Each structure stands twice: as C-alpha cells, then as structure tokens.
C-alpha cells in the first residue's frame, strides 16, 4: 500500500467537489497533494499518519511553529466574547500601536485579510497621493493574485522580452488585458537601469513596489546599496516606495526587512508571520499617505477586517515575537545552510543556496549566484522536484519551489536530522551529476511550471 494512500483517496474525492481538489492553485504544485490532520511545533501529520518535519510552514506564516499555545489560548479567550462587531474593539488599537513601536515606516496602520488585499490598498493610496496611474514592479516578484500585480511574477524567457525593457506578462486566464497598461516591469537589483528608467518615466509613476528580498524567486538578497539607491530615486521623483513585506515582515527581523537593511519605505505591506497562520494583513506607512484613508478620500473597506479572532492572533503572535531570540533562528538556519553546502561539495553537486537563516532557497545550478529573476531560470528544476520528493518520502516536508522556512520551533536536533537525511539522498549513486549543464535540461518544464504557479 502506498505511503500516501489515504491522501490519494481524499484527493480523488475532493476533485469531484473542490475545484482541482485544492483551495489555492499553488497547493496543486505539491506532489503528491497531501491532506493533513494536525500540526504541532515544527511537525505536521498527514492523513496517512506520516509525520513530517516541516520546512514549508504553510508558505511561511508559521514562524512560531504549528499551534503555539499562547496564540491559540489568546484566540480562544477573545472569541468567547464575540467574533465580529462591524465596529471597533480595543485590541485593534493595541495591534496598531505595536506596529508603530516595531516597524520603522509605520506611523499609521490599517488591517485587512490577506497580503493581496494589503498590496491593492497600498497601490490605491499611492495613486491617490500622486495623482499618477502607473506602477513599477520587478520581474519575479510576487505581490498577490489580483489583476494588476500578477504581472511578470514568473514569466518564461520566451515571454519575457528584452532584459532592459521586459514585456509585462499576464499570468492568469481571465486577467484583464488592460491590467498591464499601467505596469512597467524591470529586472531587480540593477540600480543604473532603474535610474535611467525613472528619468524617462518617473513623472508617470505612482509607486515602485518590491519584495525587499526577492523571496518568491530564489530568495535573492538586494545588492549592496540597491535599496538605498531606489529609496533616493523614489524620493527625487516623488514616487511612493512600497516594500511588500508579506514574507520578510516579522521574519527577517522583528521590524522586517526595512529594519534589517535600515531603509525605510513610504508604505509597507505585512501578512503571513504577523499572526502565525491567522488570516490578517496590514498596510502601514507614513501618516501623510494613510491620512488619505483616514479622511475617507481613499476607500479601504472589508466586512472581516480586524475581526476578533485574527486581531487576537496577531496581537498574541507579536507579543511573543517581541521576546523572541531572532539571532538563534538566524544562527540555526545558517548552520543548516552551511551543512547543506558542505554536503553538496562532498558529493560534487552544483547547489546554490541564497537567503538568510529564517528563509532561504536551494537551487541545483552551476551558477555561483542569482542576482535577478532571469538568472534563476538557469536551474535544474527536475532535480529539485526529485529532491523534494525524496525528502518527503523520508519525512521532511519542503516547498516544491526550493524555498525553506525555519521557525522558532525548529531545534538543533531537527537540523542534524535534516542533514543526515539529505546525506542519505545525495550519497546515492543516482545523484551524481551529469556532465550536461543543468541550465539546458529543463526550460520547457520551467515554462509549464511558470504558467501554473503562484496563482
């Protein structure tokens, strides 16, 4: 009987009533699609009672691990008194105050339900503030699934056009063709190109939006002084700089990438780790900008915004994070990264790891760095899929796209076990590398993947 028998049966049943058998397209990429019963700390248990050490953390939110008692208790206590008032409650003030205390750009905050919504609100505020329509985003950066931002988040090389002036690429059937009319796309990490582009288009741009670390594609860090240069250029041209910190917020550092790198955007969006898995997100930023929402000039609404459950979850999570030893997680992650690099060297595998202790990316590639999205297409995604599956079969759950998330619940023993498991796989003869360059192995597969992912 298959190790995934029950999940397979559930998936077949689900497909009859649930579109694609899943509730988010990105989940359909996991092979096999698993159904889960429980999660605790760094571990999850699937429907077949297989236990996994989890490095997916549900696409990142579970920075305190699965089911942290302090968060669950806070939610339970708060919910006994009510769920939603269609009005205010005190906890949302405390949550907003903690943003002001922790996040450098956060003079004011607004809460909503998802990262996609927060990004939508940020762009609307930027447009209202500047009276301009266009936004500039970067190839490979993901900002949610709404029409205007789901552009060039993972285009194939064939679609992407010239590097210096990429073609904005839609990523979903049903997206308005006009969604790209107001979007300029650039490669990330190229300050000179950014400068030249803003000289021509700066006066038309309401916002520049970026992931301050390109977590959604290969976890590429900003080049030295890149963020500072973009910050300065946006100020010169009167453009609102938006950091999308849905992944980096509360994960890279308590105050997000903006505090880690010391560069303060005008607006920033948060989600994921801010409530350890509960669906709340935040738009935070300069008072002058959020004032447009405050005075009702910009519409930001939502029936479920700051409901009791998610507000209590975020409040309890952030209270815990304020006392968390971030250094420990960085060090633990670095230990894992170094261990993986040593094993790759020992078995002659061309492996590139980029990122930080709390979130990093492993690619099979002969390149010694990826600086921008197009570099990352030169990786052997078939081999990555094989690796992810081999790990799953041995009880370690990874994301199919090569991103690894660590939580406060991971331990030294977990890292040790992970490295032993990886060695068990990579030491097999079948892992020795072919002479053929990996970059040529998989472009068609990468194309298929890029069409379906992240939607």
Ligand X SMILES: Cc1ncc(COP(=O)(O)O)c(C=O)c1O
Q: Which is nearer to ligand X, 4 or 99 (CB)?
A: 99
119 binds ligand X (CB under 6 A): yes
State which of positions 120-149 bind ligand X (CB under 6 A): 142-144
Smallest distance from the beta carbon of 212 to ligand X, in angstroms?
Answer: 10
Q: How far is the CB of 236 from ligand X (least distance, A)?
A: 26
> Shortest distance, CB of residue 373 to ligand X, whole angstroms?
14
272 a catalytic residue = yes
48, 147, 244, 375: the catalytic one is: 244
Which CA distances in Å does 360 have to 106, 177, 252?
A: 26, 34, 11
244 catalytic residue (yes or no): yes
Nearer to ligand X, 245 or 414 (CB): 245
Q: Candidates 13-21, 114-122, 172-180, 410-418 — which segment interacts with ligand X by CB under 6 A?
A: 114-122
* Contact characters 202-221, ligand X, x per CB under 6 A: ---------x----x-----
256 binds ligand X (CB under 6 A): no
Q: State the binding string over 31-60 for ligand X (x if CB under 6 A, else -).
A: ----------------------------x-
CB of 120 to ligand X, least distance (A): 9
* From 271, 277, 355, 402, residue interacting with ligand X (rule: CB under 6 A): 271
Q: Is 152 in the site for ligand X (CB under 6 A)?
A: no
Query: Do the strands 351-356 and 134-138 form a parallel or antiparallel pair, or are they unpaired?
Result: unpaired
Our finding on whether 254 is near ligand X (CB under 6 A) is: no
- Of residues 328 through 367, those in contact with ligand X by CB under 6 A are none
The least distance separating ligand X from the CB of residue 211, rounded to whole angstroms, comes to 5
Q: Smallest distance, Å, CB 102 to ligand X?
A: 19
Query: Using CB atoms, what's the residue nearest to ligand X?
Result: 115
Based on the shown chain and the rule CB under 6 A, indicate whether residue 115 belongs to the binding site for ligand X.
yes
Contacts with ligand X: how many residues (CB under 6 A)? 15
With CB under 6 A as the contact rule, the residue among 244, 378, 414, 449 that binds ligand X is 244
CA distance 389 to 387: 5
Residue 269 Cβ vs ligand X, minimum distance, rounded to whole Å: 7
Residue with Cβ nearer ligand X (246 or 390): 246
Residue 380 bears catalytic tag: no
Cα separation, 404 vs 317, whole angstroms = 21
Distance CA 150, CA 229 (A): 25
Q: Which one among 7, 50, 98, 116 touches ligand X, defined by CB under 6 A?
A: 116
Residues 6+ apart with CB under 8 A from 203: 132, 237
- Annotated catalytic residues are 142, 244, 272
Binding site for ligand X (CB under 6 A): 59, 114-116, 119, 142-144, 211, 216, 244, 246-247, 271, 281
């Amino acid at each position: 009987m298959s190790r995934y028998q029950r999940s397979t049966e559930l998936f077949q049943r689900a497909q009859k009533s649930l579109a694609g058998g899943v509730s988010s397209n990105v989940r359909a990429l996991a092979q096999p699609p698993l159904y889960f019963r429980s999660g605790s700390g760094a571990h999850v248990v699937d429907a077949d009672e297989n236990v996994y050490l989890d490095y997916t953390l549900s696409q990142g939110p579970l920075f305190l691990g699965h089911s942290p008692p302090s968060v669950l208790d806070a939610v339970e206590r708060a919910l006994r008194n009510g769920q939603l008032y269609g009005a205010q409650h005190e906890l949302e003030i405390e949550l907003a105050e903690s943003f002001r205390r922790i996040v450098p750009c956060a003079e004011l905050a607004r809460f909503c339900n998802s990262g996609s919504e927060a990004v939508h609100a940020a762009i609307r505020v930027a447009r209202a503030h500047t009276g301009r329509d266009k936004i500039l985003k970067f190839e490979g950066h993901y900002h949610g699934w709404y029409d205007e931002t789901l552009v060039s988040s993972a285009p194939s090389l064939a679609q992407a056009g010239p590097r210096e002036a990429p073609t904005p690429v839609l990523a979903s059937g049903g997206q308005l063709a006009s969604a790209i009319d107001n979007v300029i796309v650039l490669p990330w990490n190229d300050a000179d190109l950014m400068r030249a582009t803003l000289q021509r288009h700066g006066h038309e741009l309401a916002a520049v939006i970026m992931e301050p670390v390109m977590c959604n594609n290969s976890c590429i860090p900003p080049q030295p002084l890149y963020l500072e240069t973009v910050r300065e250029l946006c100020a010169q041209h009167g453009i609102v700089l938006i950091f999308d910190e849905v992944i980096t917020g509360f994960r890279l550092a308590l105050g997000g990438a903006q505090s880690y790198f010391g560069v303060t955007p005008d607006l920033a969006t948060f989600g994921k780790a801010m409530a350890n898995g509960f669906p709340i997100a935040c738009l935070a930023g300069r008072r002058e900008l959020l004032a447009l929402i405050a005075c009702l000039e910009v519409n930001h609404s939502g029936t479920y915004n700051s409901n009791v459950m998610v507000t209590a979850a975020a409040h309890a999570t952030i209270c815990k994070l304020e006392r968390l030893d971030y250094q420990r997680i960085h060090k633990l992650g670095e230990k894992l990264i170094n261990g993986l690099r040593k094993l790759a060297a020992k078995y002659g595998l061309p492996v590139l790891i980029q990122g930080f202790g709390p979130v990093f990316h492993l690619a099979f590639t002969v390149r010694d760095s990826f600086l921008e999205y197009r570099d990352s297409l030169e990786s052997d995604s078939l081999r990555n899929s094989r690796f992810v599956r081999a790990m799953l079969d041995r009880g370690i759950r990874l994301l199919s796209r090569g991103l690894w998330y660590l939580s406060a619940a991971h331990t030294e023993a977990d890292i040790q076990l992970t490295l032993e498991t990886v060695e068990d796989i990579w030491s097999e003869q079948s892992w020795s590398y072919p002479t053929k360059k990996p970059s040529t192995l998989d472009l068609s597969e990468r194309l298929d993947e890029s069409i379906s992912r992240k939607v």
